[in-house]
Structure 1
Amino acid sequence: MNQTIARDVGQLESLRVHAADNVRVALRNLPAGHEIDDDGERIVLCEPIRQKHKFTLASLKVGDTVIMYGVTVGRATQPIPTGAALTTENIEHSTASAAPRARRGDWQAPDVSAFQGATFDGYHRPDGRVGTANLWLVVPLVFCENRNIEVLRQSVADALGEDPYRDYKRLARELLHGAAGVEPSPPVTERYFPNVDGVRFLTHTLGCGGTDDDATALCQLLAGYICHPNVAGATVLSLGCQKAQIDMLKGAVAERDPQGLRPVHYLEQQASVSEEALIREALTTIFDGLAEANRVERTPAPLSELSIGVECGGSDGFSGLSANPVVGGVIDRLVALGGSGILSEFPELCGVEHELLARCRDDRVAERFLALMNAYQAHAARVGADFSMNPSPGNIRDGLITDAMKSAGAAKKGGDSPVVDVLDYTEPQTRKGLNLLCTPGNDVESTTGLAGSGANLIMFTTGLGTPTGNPVVPVLKISSNSEMARRMADVIDFDSGPVIRGEASIDELAERLLQLCIDTASGRYRAKAVGLAQYDFIPWKRGVSL
């Protein structure tokens, strides 16, 4: 199907994605009265259809299902004539039923001969895992320490001469005082720790005032970051009296690092003689840690040591036709090479559960997926929410009318390979291959979870544009359309728009994108989000986010 999309798009003004679909996607703005040839059938548009939006191939009665990507994505709420646009007024979210049954068959892996024997240059850790970056992490156990974290961030940046906002500060001074009052930028000095990619400082709003489950989940998430293969070690700040205690975090770290191979320093403000003493001790652990981390150099590692998380945000009507299938092609190739992919955002898998269940390697994995999906929906229902509320106003404006329609395209990021495991939020990945991870659809909460479960690289697709990044994992931004890629060139790393124009196939772009992933993992390419110091970190409070 992917090759058909790539070939036909250059010839057509609209596209039927799957043979079973009863809708087509407009690839450009189409006027009322425009004629469409749908496999020999003449369709006359009864109203204008905006680019990226869908229109009917036959009239629908109230209750009739809407099919796209070969799956149910909605249900008509009023009669819809042939050639009419799908809108929030005439269809609603609807999905097919799902049962926990796995299909055991042979997966047709893509040709990966071009990458056989390929390696990336990574940081080999004592536990055997390989990082795509080499970072020191500074973490607060409770929001009360956020201010001290910011003091440390500014102090370390100043000491290392690595202030990422130097140019913006210069701009602000120029706007306020005029060019004559602007001090020259300090000269770029030699890096003190050339084998280290930096220090990352996390802040959050949790650690106290919540439930015991909130504190436990936070400690599990922070442990995932502290023990991440991209992290050499960590400094942890605690107030002392909060609900998320140091011993809780130590226990969570020990589960992931039972041999204590990762250096972690725990500092408690209420046990310190002064704030200055606390900051001095923290700075000492940071600089000592950087010196130790600097002894590790990049060396070749097989692609089987890559674990790529996939995410989408600011999706549009082209995301499921270009960016998401291209990313899915990368995941299939990586899995065929022995590596791993992690597909998250459970609200955006609603409607394609049956397809994912059929791809689970056994019934245990299938049953876990369905159990976590049902539990998540129940959590959401208790706060008056539902998966059908997931599409944002921007999604809807760009043609993603229902959650099922959005999900059917979003799931393409996971390719077609078998699902080897299903992870709950904060659980570490332990099996190579495609994993499903229970996270919300919220961009930053989900990317935060992907890194916490061990992804050492993230591919993030977008149709409307987003700057999202992560503190410890490089995030590559892949656009669904070239117009947005040009307009937001400072945040977009890869353009899959040539698929929409029929200039390149999904397979061709997947191979190019996999090479970009290898270059990023090797430090030869710096993700735009890293260059912008876009280090987003938001823990998920269950049941609140979709």
Structure 2
Amino acid sequence: MSLVVLNESDDVAVATTAMPAGATVGVRGAGEVTLRGDLPAGHKVALRDLAAGALVRKYGQVIGRTLAEVRAGEHVHMHNLGMPEDAAARATQGAAGSTLLLPADLRRTFQGFRRPDGRVATRNYIGVLTTVNCSATVARKVARLTEDDAEGVEGVEGVEGVDGVVALTHGTGCGMAAQGEGWDLLRRTLAGYARNPNIGGLVVIGLGCEVNTVTGLMADLGVAEHVPVSSYTIQELGGTSSAVQRGVELVRRMTSDLAGTVRTEVDVAELVLGLQCGGSDGWSGLTANPALGVASDLLVAAGATTVLGETPEVYGAEHLLAARATSPEVADALMARIRWWETYTQRQGTTLDANPSPGNKAGGITTILEKSLGAVAKAGHSPLAAVREYAEEIPRPGLVFMDTPGYDPVSVTGMVAGGANLICFTTGRGSVFGSRPVPTVKLATNADVAGRMAGDIDLDCSPVVEQGLPLEEMGRRVYDLLLDVASGRRSASEELGLGGEEIVPWQLGAVL
């Protein structure tokens, strides 16, 4: 049994395993402590006596304020740790970003689909995009009939060069104002999916009387000339059955046209990687997140692009990102989004500290500050090159921040719409997430979830703590895995067929 201290200034240590009350446990680099109560794995214990109202540090940063006096050896969690009003303002300034010198043996290419316009895809999908929720069922039937070889219809499975058919559905498109923030978000998201390089062909389906009309959407899509696009409405074809039949015909025709598309060797700089975490626990900031941060730094140094999102989950750690901004304008843009979220949550009658989920708390995370400090580790130490709003086109190259909610499907939807062609998702409690038409690679933070949910996990990062594996080595394993998946290796979520239901555009504005 042992406890881990992440920074010499920390007031707490993290349990690597569940530990019983009364145990005297060694603290790596800081002596030992006797536990005053049972301590679950991933949870925190006080290293010294703390007065009531004292600021508590982990990662060398403020994660909360004691609600009562805490003695050395006591479990530190929801019962005695809360959010200080001015925690973010009290946090220590971070260091400026740095760029790595690349190892001589680092892989610098992968096998991707080079599009005629120069962009590179990691997958080759036909998308069935809906203008409105009313056409979602038709789109799903078209995708199921053409991809899964259901009901005697020839499917795309086994067609060389085509990875599948995905229904790009959502829950809105009507009952909304045809202008304003909510409208702009929806149209930007749908157009972004249509333009994602992983879409090789597109069928657009509407009902026929919705606010988000087919003709209007088609005019704004901006899809590259080499991508075949067809559109129609259910009403003009005379109903569901005819609309499904028409969609199947169009998809099969596109499948024939795309058959034989081949991968070629391309530079790693063509990757646009979305960085996501979900079902986080006390190990997230120790293992998978910083290991992904190492991989992110390697990619950025090699000329690629990585995208950090989940604005509510950088709250309290935003100063660390702002200190790495490449210009004052980039730092100001990040802080402007933080202020927007503070106002937004207040208007909704909540606070950003409501973000940690019951699962996060069961895994040892107490406040949003603690969660955020672990979450930003996914972004490594590279300079912050740009800040973008939700679903905006992602500039290249470098580390980019996109303003997204913390809710995983909504966050990743924005990244895919912005042009991400690969997603890496870390989890400590377990996740069944996918993101077609973009592959998701899942990293486990601990051995327990990696074993219990082995079919959903691509890589176990727990050896960083359990075996003392250097973060740099685990980061290289993550990097190599990402290039393998970008080259066509199917991730666990792809093998399970996940990713068709996780397209969730951020909805803002009135429902009319």
TM-score by length of 1: 0.87
Shift of 1:450: 1.7
* 1:197 corresponding residue in structure 2: 163
How far apart, in 1, do the equivalents of 2:63 and 2:152 lie? 48
Q: Tell whether 2:335 aligns with 1:370.
A: yes
Equivalent residues in 2 for 1:95-494 (5 A)? 95-97=87-89, 107-115=98-106, 118-157=108-147, 159=149, 193-211=159-177, 212=179, 213-254=181-222, 257=223, 260-494=225-459
Confirm or deny: 8 A CA contact 1:208 1:215 kept in the other structure.
Answer: no
Q: 2: distance between equivalents of 1:142 and 1:540?
A: 14
Q: Percent identity?
A: 33
- The range that moved more, 276-285 or 229-238, is 276-285
Q: Does 1:541 align with 2:503?
A: no
The one of 530, 540, 544 equivalent to 2:494 is 530
* Conserved? CA contact 1:360–1:366, under 8 Å: yes
| SS of structure 2 residue aligned to 1:113 | coil
Is the 1:98–1:353 contact (alpha carbons within 8 Å) kept by the matching residues of 2? no
Unpaired runs of 5+ in structure 1? 1-11, 164-187
Report the counterpart of residue 11 of structure 2 in structure 1.
22
TM (norm. structure 2) is 0.92
> What is the CA distance between 1:13 and its match in structure 2?
0.2
Structure 1 residue ranges, 4+ long, deviating more than 6 angstroms after superposition: 160-163
RMSD over aligned CA atoms reads: 2.4
Q: CA deviation at 1:93?
A: 2.2
Deviation at 1:443, TM superposition (A): 1.4
Whole-Å separation in 2 of the counterparts to 1:30 and 1:158: 48
Question: Cα deviations across residues 161-216 of structure 1 (Å, max 9, x unaligned)?
Answer: 999xxxxxxxxxxxxxxxxxxxxxxxx99956211001111222111113443333
Give the match for residue 83 of structure 1. 73
Distance 1:106 1:32 in 2: 42
- Output the CA distance in 2 between the equivalents of 1:484 and 1:162: 39
Q: Structure 1 residues 411 and 90 mapped into 2: Cα distance closer, same or farther (>3 Å)? A: same
Query: Distance in 1 between the 2:122 and 2:156 partners?
Result: 22
CA distance in 2, matches of 1:464, 1:304: 32
- 1-side partners of 2:412 and 2:185: how far apart? 16
Q: Letter of the 2:167 partner, please give it.
A: F
Q: Give aligned pairs, total.
A: 502
User: What amino acid maps onto 1:526 in structure 2?
Assistant: R
Residue 160 (structure 1) shift: 7.5
Please give the secondary structure, in 2, of the residue aligned with 1:458.
Answer: strand
Q: Is the 8 A contact 1:451 1:473 kept in 2?
A: yes
Q: Is the 8 A contact 2:173 2:212 kept in 1?
A: yes
Checking the alignment, whether the CA contact within 8 Å between 2:148 and 2:155 is kept in structure 1 is no
SS of 2:507's equivalent in the other structure is coil
Q: CA deviation at 1:154?
A: 3.0
Q: Is the 8 A contact 1:216 1:248 kept in 2?
A: no
Instruction: Give the CA deviation at 1:441.
Output: 1.0
How far, CA to CA, are the matches of 1:193 and 1:51 in structure 2?
A: 47
2:149 and 2:156 in contact (8 A); partners too: no
Q: Given the superposition, is the C-alpha separation of residues 98 and 238 from structure 1 closer, same or farther in structure 2, using an over 3 Å criterion?
A: farther
**In structure 2, do the counterparts of structure 1 residues 275 and 483 end up closer, same or farther at CA, with 3 Å as the change threshold?**
closer
- Structure 1: how far apart are the matches of 2:42 and 2:141? 46
Give 1:16's aligned amino acid.
Answer: V
Contact 1:340 / 1:432 at 8 angstroms: preserved in 2?
A: yes
Q: Which amino acid aligns with 2:88?
A: A
Give the counterpart letter for 2:200 in structure 1: A
Q: Deviations over 1:42-76 (max 9, x none)?
A: 53322222211111122222221111111111111
- 1:504 to partner: Cα distance: 1.8
Task: Say whether the 8 Å CA contact 1:132–1:457 is kept in structure 2.
Answer: yes
Distance (whole Å) between structure 2 residues aligned to residue 190 and residue 349 of structure 1: 41
Cα offset, 1:240, TM superposition: 1.9
User: Is the 2:145–2:151 Cα contact (8 Å) retained in structure 1?
Assistant: no
- Find the counterpart in structure 1 of residue 482 from structure 2: 517
Distance 1:80 1:35, change over 3 A: same
Aligned counterparts of 1:244 and 1:426: Cα–Cα separation in 2 = 18
For residues 162 and 84 of structure 1, the distance between their equivalents in structure 2, rounded to whole angstroms, comes to 64
Distance change (3 Å), C-alpha of 1:252 and 1:18: farther
Distance 1:228 1:534 in 2: 19
CA distance 1:298–1:83, change in 2 (3 Å): same
- Deviation at 1:252? 3.5
